[in-house]
Amino acid sequence: MTQDTISLVRPDDWHIHFRDGDMLKAVVPTTASVFRRAIVMPNLVPPVTTAAAARAYRQRILDVCPAGSDFQPLMTAYLTETLDPDDLAAGYEAGDLTAVKLYPAGATTNSDAGVRDIRRVDATLKRMAEIGMPLLVHGEVTDPAIDIFDREEVFIETVLKPLMDRLPDLKIVLEHITTRQAADYVASAGDHLAATITPHHLEINRTDLFRGGIRPHLYCLPIAKREEHRLAVRAAAVSGSPRFFLGTDSAPHAVHAKEAACGCAGIYNAPGALSVYAGIFEADGALDKLEAFASLNGPRFYGLPVNETTVTLRKTGWTVPETVTAGKHVVMPYHAGETLDWALD
Ligand code: NCD
Ligand code: ZN
Ligand code: ZN
C-alpha cells in the first residue's frame, strides 16, 4: 500500500545560513514555519565570534520571525585562532552559544577569518571537550594543490582523524558530508562523531552541475561528487544510524552573485527541504527512518530535548516558488518552480 501522509515529531535544521539584513528578513520565516530549531551558521561579514555577538544576532533573527512563532535559533561562534575560550564557555553555560564552527581559512563562502593551523586552537578545543560543547566542521582542506573533489577525503585523513586522536572527548559534527569516505568513517568512528546531510547532496552528483550547460544554482561547497559518493551518502542518510541527521546547509545568495563570472557557493534549499527529504526516504523505501533522521538523531547528539509537537506531510504536491525576493535582490531556490510530491500541512 502506498502511503500518502507522514506524521513526525517536528524536525530541526542542524545547519543553516540566515545571513543578515534584507536576506535575513526574507529567509527566516520560511525555516521558522517548518523547523522548531536551527543551528545558525556564524559566517557573517564580519563573523560572529563572541557570545555577545551571537546574542545580538539571535535577537535580529527573533525580530523577523512571524508573530506567535516558537522558532528557536541555536547560535554558533566562528572559530578563529584568537577566540577567547572563557567567553565561549560562558556563552555556552548561558545558552547564548550551542556550538563552535570550524572553517578552514578560505574553504568556503565568508571563511577568510577561519583557522589556518588547527594546532593553534587546540587549547580552545580542549576547553570545549571539557564542557561538552560541540565542534561543527566544514571538512575540506584548502591547499590549492589538492583537487577540489578530494578535499573532504583528505581533510578526514589529515585533520579530522588526528584531531579525534588528540581530543577523543570532543563532540564533532562533520557538516554537509559528500563522500563515501565521510559516510563510512562517521558510521564507524564512535558516538562523539556525527554528520549532517543536505537535501541536494542526496539528489545531485557532479555530472548534474553540467547538465546541458553550467548550473550555478547547483554550485555549493563541498562540491557534489561522483554518483558512487552520492549513493553512499544517501545510504547513510536512510540507514537509520543515529550518527546522521538533517542539516540543510540552506545558503542563500542573490541571483546576481550566483550567475556571475566567479559565482558564489551555496544553495538556497529551505523552502522545499523537508519535502525533498521526504521524497528521498520514500523513494528508498525508508519512510519509517525519516523521523529519526529529521527529528530525533540531532537532539540526541546535541543533548537537547526532542520536540514535543508534530508535523504532517501529505502527498498532494507542492510547488516551490520560482524566486524569493530579499529587499532589492532575488534568490532562486533549489527546485525553483518544480512541484514536489510532499506538502507540509
Ligand atoms: C555556504 C555559504 O554560502 O555560506 N556555502 C556553501 O556552499 N555551502 C558556506 C558553507 O556551508 O560552506
Ligand atoms: Zn560549509
Ligand atoms: Zn553551510
| Per-residue model confidence as pLDDT tens digits over 44-62 | 999 999 999 999 999 999 9
Percent pLDDT > 70 in the chain is: 100
Residue nearest atom 3 of ligand 1, based on CA coordinates = 266
pLDDT at residue number 343? 98
The string of DSSP codes covering 310-334 is: EEEEESS-EEPPS-EEETTEEE--T
Q: What is the CATH number of the domain that holds 65?
A: 3.20.20.140
Residue nearest atom 11 of ligand 1, based on CA coordinates = 249
Residue nearest atom 6 of ligand 1, based on CA coordinates = 266
- Ligand 3 centroid, distance to 49 Cα (angstroms): 16
- Is 322 part of any domain? no
- Is 233 part of any domain? yes
At 194, phi and psi to the nearest 5? -135, 175
* Three-state secondary structure call for residue 202: helix
In the predicted model, what is the mean pLDDT of residues 321-343? 98
**Residue 2: which pLDDT band, with cuts at 50, 70 and 90?**
confident
- Is 335 part of any domain? no
- Is 324 part of any domain? no
Residues 134-162: pLDDT tens digits? 999 999 999 999 999 999 999 999 999 99
Q: What is the DSSP letter of 224?
A: P
* Three-state secondary structure call for residue 232: helix
Percent pLDDT > 90 in the chain is: 97
Q: Which ligand neighbours the alpha carbon of 76 most closely?
A: 3
Catalytic positions, please? 249
At 37, phi and psi to the nearest 5? -135, 160
What is the helix (H) or strand (E) element at residue 182, kind and residue range? helix 180-188
User: Rounded to whole angstroms, how far apart are CA atoms 256 and 262?
Assistant: 10
- Is 224 part of any domain? yes
- Ligand 2 centroid, distance to 288 Cα (angstroms): 29
- Ligand 3 centroid, distance to 316 Cα (angstroms): 30
- Is 2 part of any domain? no
Question: Domain count of the chain?
Answer: 1
The grid coordinates of residue 284 equal: 528508498
Is pLDDT of 257 > 90? yes
pLDDT at residue number 1? 60
pLDDT at residue number 221? 98
Closest CA to 92 of 47, 54, 121: 54
- Residues lining ligand 1, judged by CB closer than 6 Å? 17, 43, 108-110, 138, 220-221, 249, 251, 265-266
State which ligand 1 atom lies nearest to the alpha carbon of 266: 7
In the predicted model, what is the mean pLDDT of residues 62-68? 97
- For ligand 3, an ion, list residues with CB under 5 A: 249
State which ligand 1 atom lies nearest to the alpha carbon of 110: 4
- Is 186 part of any domain? yes
Q: Which domain holds residue 210?
A: 10-309
- Ligand 2 centroid, distance to 341 Cα (angstroms): 28
pTM recorded for the entire structure: 0.98
- Is 301 part of any domain? yes
In the predicted model, what is the mean pLDDT of residues 13-33? 98
**Residue in the structure block whose three cell numbers are 577561519:** 114
- CB 196 within 8 Å of CB 175: yes
